């Protein structure tokens, strides 16, 4: 067994890779050593096979191509925000807010983006400011999928119009994809839409524009994250796979892969609101 003196040199020299991997919950230290020896671990994009390699929490480490978070002070939670809760940690008007969901955690958590009070569904809570900035910023175009119950029968022609784009007060906007779920009824239709826009209440406004006001709206997906069967008001830690997918987005953005200096069609000024849908 290695003594503590051999596990860590002065801060400038970092910590043994297998020790940080074990602390991050990737695997036991012995299994982590096997992963390294098998060439399945990269540090800053370079395959590492020597067990003596030292790293810091800021190094980009991946196992089998999936990024891992070495900083154990970071926390990532998925919340199924209920209807009637505003996307704020403290509401000046005294409305129900997110504070009751984060109160039991020691970390100072905040929400990534927003959902309006009448929209339920997937909301990410974290204390990772850098990742939150990337995921919420409109220039990175993180996809979101919503399921809406609307008034009236939505026809295939209307779905095609949503895909082609509609004109709103703040400019044109088109969904990335849309499909009717089940059979459209005479009075109500359930439609799934996916888009990357972060404009205020954009799904509601688009459906209102084509003559089908929203009765109920749920965000089912945010980037690679899926709401699954998480009940309204419940929250859970992200899995290692889910976190790895988010970290991959962040690393691509940091490398300039995801960033697009050209304004998107839904955001003619290169700017966007992070307010709720």
Strand partners, 222: 144, 225
CA atoms within 13 A on the CB side of 70: 20
Characterize 115-148 residue by residue with b for buried, 16 or more Cβ atoms within 10 angstroms of its Cβ, and e for exposed: bbbebbbbbbbbbbeebbebbbbbbbbbebbbbb
Q: Which of 116, 128, 266, 267 is catalytic?
A: 116
The whole-angstrom distance between residue 177's C-alpha and the CA centroid of its chain comes to 19
pLDDT at residue 102 in the model: 94
The whole-angstrom distance between residue 161's C-alpha and the CA centroid of its chain comes to 28
Question: pLDDT by residue (tens digit) across 72-107?
Answer: 899 999 999 999 999 999 888 889 999 999 999 999
pLDDT at residue 2 in the model: 46
pLDDT at residue 260 in the model: 45
Q: Is 57 helix (H, G, I), strand (E, B) or coil?
A: coil
pLDDT at residue 270 in the model: 39
pLDDT at residue 275 in the model: 45
Q: Which domains does the chain have, with CATH numbers?
A: 4-68 (3.10.290.10), 76-254 (3.30.2350.10)
Which residues lie below 8 Å from residue 166, measured CB to CB, with a gap of 6+? 172, 173, 174, 206, 209, 210
Using 50 as the pLDDT threshold, list the residues of the chain that sit under it: 1-12, 258-275
CA-based nearest residue to 61, from 27, 20, 28, 31: 20
CA-based nearest residue to 19, from 45, 51, 48, 41: 51
Is 7 part of the annotated catalytic residue set?
A: no
> pTM of the prediction?
0.83
Token pair 């239709």 is found at 189
pLDDT at residue 256 in the model: 67
pLDDT at residue 258 in the model: 40
Token pair belonging to 108 = 């100072």
Question: pLDDT by residue (tens digit) across 249-274?
Answer: 888 877 765 444 333 434 433 334 44
Residue 84 gets the label, from left (phi > 0), alpha (psi -120 to 50) or beta, of left
Measured CA distances, 261 to 75, 100, 190, 195 (Å): 30, 38, 35, 19
CA-based nearest residue to 207, from 181, 220, 221, 189: 189
d(CA 74, CA 93): 30
Token pair belonging to 13 = 């020299």
Q: Which helix (H) or strand (E) holds 30?
A: helix 29-37
């Amino acid at each position: 067994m290695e003594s503590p003196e051999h596990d860590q040199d002065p801060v400038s020299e970092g910590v043994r890779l297998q020790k940080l991997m074990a602390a991050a919950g990737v695997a036991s230290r012995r299994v982590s050593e096997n992963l390294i020896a098998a060439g399945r671990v990269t540090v800053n994009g370079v395959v590492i096979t020597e067990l003596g390699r030292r790293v810091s929490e800021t190094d980009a480490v991946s196992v089998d191509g999936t990024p891992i978070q070495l900083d154990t002070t970071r926390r990532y939670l998925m919340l199924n925000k209920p209807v009637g809760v505003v996307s704020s940690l403290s509401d000046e008007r005294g409305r129900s807010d997110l504070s009751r969901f984060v109160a039991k955690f020691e970390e100072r958590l905040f929400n990534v983006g927003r959902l309006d009070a009448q929209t339920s569904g997937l909301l990410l809570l974290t204390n990772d400011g850098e990742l939150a900035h990337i995921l919420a910023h409109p220039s990175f175009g993180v996809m979101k999928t919503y399921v809406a119950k609307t008034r009236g029968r939505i026809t295939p022609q209307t779905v095609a119009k949503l895909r082609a784009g509609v004109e709103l007060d703040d400019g044109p906007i088109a969904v990335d994809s849309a499909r009717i779920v089940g059979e459209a009824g005479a009075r109500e239709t359930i439609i799934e839409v996916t888009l990357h826009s972060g404009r205020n209440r954009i799904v509601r406004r688009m459906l209102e524009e084509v003559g089908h006001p929203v009765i109920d709206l749920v965000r089912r997906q945010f980037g690679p994250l899926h709401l699954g069967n998480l009940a309204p008001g419940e929250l859970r830690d992200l899995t290692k796979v889910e976190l790895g997918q988010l970290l991959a987005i962040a690393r691509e953005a940091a490398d300039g892969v995801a960033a697009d200096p050209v304004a998107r069609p839904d955001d003619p000024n290169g700017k966007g609101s992070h307010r709720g849908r």
